[in-house]
Amino acid sequence: MSTAPGRFLPLATTLGAALIGGGVFSALGLPVAWLSGSMVFVAGLALAGVPLALPLPFRDLGFLLAGVAMGSTVTSEALGLIARYPFSVFGLLLSVVVSIVLATLLLQRSFGWDRPTAFLASVPGALSAVMAVAAESSADVRRVAMVQLMRLVVLVVVLPYAIGGMGKAAEVARTAMAGPWEFAALFAAAIALTEAFRRMNMANPMFLGAMLASTLLHVTEIIPGQVPDIIMLMGSLLVGAFCGHRFVGTTPAMILSTLAPSLAVLAIVLAVAAGCGVLVHWVTQLPLGAVLVAFAPGGLEAMVLMGAALGLDTLYISTHHVLRAVGLMLVMPLIAPRGESAAPEVERS
């Protein structure tokens, strides 16, 4: 007969590994640390055969928190900046569309991946949104996660990361939420829109509803200021833990099989981003360094920190990365293919 502690041990192990992984990645200064770190550590335990569990309510809570936090980063000031650089925004849109199309075709035709998995693995940036949609789709979450994680790891290694003074510089234009009533109203609106999307049978209603409600309330300044960092941290940690849990049953051969596809996708998204960035620089005469960092398929945090370290315009850079992330979050659930995945379904706890 199993005891209560015994029944909860797999869940405690999963959450503990996620917390440790996020903390380690954060201490190392890696991008999207609490998402990628929790995913890597939980996946590592899954590969080692350690018993894990993560009930779906924990995943849904992660989607809700992450969606609300990401939506709060969109401000009227950022939208005003977008209006000042229409060609730059067009170049960003072009780079995202072209890279997704080329990488998806490559994964399907050269590596035989199913369409949902190929599409989501090809999305440059917006890791939280990609993994949230993948978790609700028929895509092979393990392949998507490995390709996306490879992109982040390689970018961290090859990009010139500076350390001193970056944290303070990245806090530009951040304002705190007004008070507890606004905080409660924000989550009430997010849950209400989530329920509406659920009744409409939309993909990943929790994440999309929270994201859209938060975005609308912050852009209109009905609720000003970003939510506390702990909300994004908790959301990222839970989503990462869920995605890492999906690695249960994965073999080393599966990991090796994604190495070549991961590097191929990375080469495509980097080449397209650089090409579109150079074109925007040539037409607008915006500083090439700022444009390249703004178009780079990396995490928002990493790119803003890098721009600050190089003395570039961090508002320009952050606006482009937020725009790409928000656009992908809102559009992906609507256009992501839902065909049958070639990967076997992993039993969910």
Residue 278 banded pLDDT, cuts 50, 70, 90: very high
DSSP state of 161: -
Split at pLDDT 50, 70, 90, the class of 207 is confident
- Please, is 200 exposed, middle or buried when counting C-beta atoms within 10 Å of its C-beta (0-12, 13-18, 19+)? exposed
Please state the separation of Cα 204 from the chain's center in Å: 14
Tell the residue number behind the tokens 């960035």, with chain if given: 277
CA angle 70, 298, 131 (to 5 degrees): 55
CB 203 within 8 A of CB 137: yes
Angle formed by the axes of helices 56-71 and 180-199, nearest 10°: 120
Token output for 214: 């938060």
Q: How far is CA 274 from CA 107, 292, 323, in A?
A: 21, 6, 18
State residue 177's pLDDT score: 64
Give the dihedral of Cα atoms 200, 203, 207, 210; nearest 10 deg: -20
Q: How far is CA 20 from CA 104, 228, 250, in A?
A: 34, 21, 22
Domain ranges across the chain: 56-335
Confidence label for 36 from pLDDT (cuts 50, 70 and 90): confident
**What sign for the dihedral angle of Cα 234, 66, 294, 177?**
negative
pLDDT above 90 as % of the chain: 24
Task: Give the span between the Cα atoms of 34 and 340, in whole angstroms.
Answer: 30
Q: How far is CA 13 from CA 20, 241, 242, in A?
A: 10, 11, 13
- Which pair of structure tokens corresponds to residue 206? 């929790």
Q: Between 190 and 181, where is the model more confident?
A: 190
Mean pLDDT, range 297-323, rounded to an integer:
69
264-285 mean pLDDT? 92
d(C-alpha 322, C-alpha 317), whole Å: 9
Distances (CA, A) of 271 to 141, 200, 295: 25, 38, 11
Q: Residue 18: is its pLDDT beyond 90?
A: yes
Put simply, whether the predicted model's pTM sits higher than 0.85 gets the answer: no
286: CB partners within 8 A, 6+ apart: 85, 88, 280, 316
What 8-state DSSP symbol labels residue 344?
A: P
- Does the structure show a pLDDT above 50 at 162? no
- pLDDT confidence of residue 59: 85
Residue with tokens 């920190």: 305
Mean pLDDT confidence for 168-189: 68
User: If you average pLDDT over residues 98-107, what whole number do you get?
Assistant: 95
Two structure tokens written together for 268: 């495509």
